[in-house]
Amino acid sequence: MFNFNPQVNIMAIKEFDIFVIGTGSSGKTIAFDCASQGMKVAIADNREYGGTCANRGCDPKKILVGITEVYQAAKNLENKGLTNTPKIDWEHLQKFKQEFTSPVPIVNERQLIKAGISLYHQSPKFLGPNTLSVEGKTVKAKKVVIATGRMPIELKIPGREYLKVSDDFLNLEALPKNITFIGGGYIGMELAHIAARCGVKVTVIQSRDTILKGFDKDLTKELIKISEGLGIQILLGSRVNKVEKLQKNYRVHYEKDEKTKSITTELVFNCAGRIPSIADLDLEIGNIDFGKKGIIVNEFLQSPSNPNVYACGDVAATIFPPLTPTANLEAKVLSENIRKGNLTKLPKVVTPSVVHCIPQLAMVGLSISDIESQKDIYQVNYKKVPKWFSAKHKNEAEYSYKVIIDKKNKTIVGAHILATNAGELINLFTLAINNKVSIEDFKNMIFAYPTWGNDIQAML
């Protein structure tokens, strides 16, 4: 006879040394590192394995940007040696993009399985400080790592169900004749530039009085003019309050100067911002403190309220902006701490940011607003230099820079660039700032000529 004991759980609870939530670059790094040292590791994701950047973010977006860079370069040289500007074939471009994105999930899963890591395909929920529910199963872990990234913020307006997000844009099978983007941040401006160069009539509705919060105001004004010259309509100081479904199109209602206005469009994209992806985790039950910027962590990327939980990347409220390179750095620090004990702190380094419009807008270090009350101790070099050879030999009309110099120490403390190659230029400035390279030493270096990097000496 079978003797049933109600105190015995027939389905045994699985136990792990490390449970990682999120399969982006930071989550994978930690999982692989721990597994390589013989720890029993599990990893979970409620979407395709590989994270946002590789599947539906930076990488596929850059592929779409890449073809528009070629298009713009050819257009700049039209009648300067080139006789025909190429046309963009969106369908074939999407097939090319899929050569990069389609293999990502399966390749990641294979690599994780090969490393001996257990895979789950659902967002776990905390049942306690060390206990999770995932795929209908209960698991326990000595340490939990949260690396779930960010997700689009939901606009609390009537008709929000009609809004699409950046994921949808990156997967469009065909482009409409007109598109409206709500939000003039990174995502809104980058997608607007892609669409406009593909022949779409584009409108950007931005609630603030400028685009790209945090970037230099003079350079963002220049980028607005460039964008408008491309045919992009930018409505500043305009707040969307309703989206209405028409027979074929949508009507977007917004307020500007205390007046209600509207535009009609084929597609509307919510690019108003992203928030930490934590809503499904039940963090309160896990005794994990969090705020608007994400999970609260200490200098070791550990939750002060639950020492068995760590967080990194876009979901963690750290000193760094939510970018892939900073997530990778945080993952390296977290990995060392979770394997060796809390010995490693986040380094204090400046982080560059790049907006992949054409031209690119890039920044690193201090901005003009940062030095507002101490202008006398800084020197600001600001010039528009489209006649410099770097831009002129490709007939590019826009090239501006703003460099902030510490007068006493004679070092670079901030740089802001608007140019087609601003992303590469800003890396050199980042190197100089983080290593406190003096202006004299920088000017005594020899750079290859003619190159963009060589321009930096003239900026100082």
CA 66 to CA 334: how far, in whole Å? 33
Give DSSP secondary structure letters for 272-322: S-EEES-TTS-TTTTT--EETTEEE--TTSB-SS-TTEEE-GGGEE-SS-S
Residue 9 has pLDDT above 90, yes or no: no
32, 158 Cβ separation under 8 angstroms: no
pTM: 0.94
Per-residue confidence band for 85, with pLDDT thresholds at 50, 70 and 90: confident
Strands 178-182 and 309-311, sheet pairing: unpaired
160-272 to CATH, choices 3.50.50.60, 1.10.1040.10, 3.40.50.300, 3.40.50.150: 3.50.50.60
Domain 14-152+275-340, what architecture? 3-Layer(bba) Sandwich (3.50)
Residue 5 has pLDDT above 70, yes or no: no
Give DSSP secondary structure letters for 327-339: HHHHHHHHHHHHH
Question: What phi and psi, each to the nearest 5 degrees, are found at residue 225?
Answer: -60, -40
Per-residue confidence band for 162, with pLDDT thresholds at 50, 70 and 90: very high
Q: Any residues with CB less than 8 A from the CB of 196 and at least 6 apart, and which?
A: 202, 227, 230, 231, 232
243 has which bridge partners? Answer: 252
Note the pLDDT tens digit of each residue in 53-68: 999 999 999 999 999 9
303, 318 Cβ separation under 8 angstroms: no
CA 260 to CA 240: how far, in whole Å? 9
What three-state secondary structure class fits 417?
Answer: strand
Number of helical (H) and strand (E) elements in the chain, helices listed first: 13, 24
CATH topology identical between 160-272 and 359-459:
no
Q: What is the dihedral of CA 73, 75, 76, 79, to 10 degrees?
A: 130
Determine the pLDDT at residue 12. 78
Determine the pLDDT at residue 148. 98
CA 299 to CA 291: how far, in whole Å? 17
CATH (residue range 359-459): 3.30.390.30
Q: Closest Cα partner for 188 from 259, 270, 66? A: 270
CA 238 to CA 256: how far, in whole Å? 5
411, 379 Cβ separation under 8 angstroms: no
Per-residue confidence band for 7, with pLDDT thresholds at 50, 70 and 90: very low
Note the pLDDT tens digit of each residue in 187-221: 999 999 999 999 999 999 999 999 999 999 999 99
Give DSSP secondary structure letters for 343-363: ----------EEE-SSSEEEE
Run of H or E including 445: none
CA 40 to CA 102: how far, in whole Å? 29
Residue 92 has pLDDT above 50, yes or no: yes
What three-state secondary structure class fits 78?
Answer: strand
Per-residue confidence band for 11, with pLDDT thresholds at 50, 70 and 90: low
Record the tokens describing residue 411, joined without a space: 């070092």
Record the tokens describing residue 396, joined without a space: 């590019």
Residue 128 has pLDDT above 60, yes or no: yes
Record the tokens describing residue 281, joined without a space: 């985790």
**Within 10 A of 69 (CB to CB), how many other CB atoms are there?**
16
Record the tokens describing residue 121, joined without a space: 């395909």
Note the pLDDT tens digit of each residue in 350-379: 999 999 999 999 999 999 999 998 989 999
Integer-rounded Cα radius of gyration of the chain: 25
Per-residue confidence band for 305, with pLDDT thresholds at 50, 70 and 90: very high
Note the pLDDT tens digit of each residue in 384-429: 999 999 999 999 999 999 999 999 999 999 999 999 999 999 999 9
CA 402 to CA 290: how far, in whole Å? 37
Determine the pLDDT at residue 87. 95
Strands 14-21 and 290-291, sheet pairing: unpaired
Domain boundaries, the chain: 14-152+275-340, 160-272, 359-459
Mean pLDDT of the chain: 95
Record the tokens describing residue 381, joined without a space: 């070099």
Sheet of 316-317: strand order equals 290-291, 294-296, 316-317
